[in-house]
């Protein structure tokens, strides 16, 4: 009976751990492995940990590009107008 309870509880505990803590580490790793390329015609974003996703934006369709860079070389790129509601 104890083994059955363990087999039922272990997946629940692992999922709870992922939801509470693990997803932040996965997100951090995914963001650190994201690569951007900017040319005179387009912006290319390559993301993904296990399965690569390539997204391409035509520059003629992007109105505002904002780059906020920190001293350690990391930063944030925002494409499109800034939402006034986001603060």
Confidence (pLDDT) at 87: 46
The reply to whether 62 falls in a domain is no
The pTM score is 0.54
Say if 7 falls within a structural domain.
yes
* 3-class DSSP assignment, residue 69: strand
Is residue 18 in some structural domain? yes
| Assigned domain for 49 exists | no
∠ at Cα 82 (54, 84), nearest 5°?
145
The whole-number pLDDT of residue 54 equals 92
Q: Which domain holds residue 7?
A: 1-32
Domain count within the chain: 1
- Tell me if 67 sits within 8 A of 56, measured CB to CB: no
pLDDT tens across the length of the chain (87 residues): 678 778 888 888 888 888 888 888 888 888 888 888 888 888 888 988 888 899 888 878 777 778 888 899 888 878 776 555 554
Q: Which two tokens stand for residue 3?
A: 């083994």
Any domain includes 41: no
**84 within some domain:** no
């Amino acid at each position: 009976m104890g083994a059955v309870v363990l087999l039922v509880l272990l997946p629940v505990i692992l999922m709870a751990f992922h939801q509470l803590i693990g997803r932040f580490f996965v997100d951090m790793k995914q963001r650190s492995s994201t690569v951007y390329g900017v040319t005179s015609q387009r912006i290319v974003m390559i993301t993904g940990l296990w399965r690569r996703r390539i997204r391409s934006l035509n520059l003629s369709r992007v109105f505002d590009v904002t780059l906020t860079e920190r001293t350690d070389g990391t930063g944030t790129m925002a494409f499109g107008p800034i939402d006034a509601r986001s603060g």
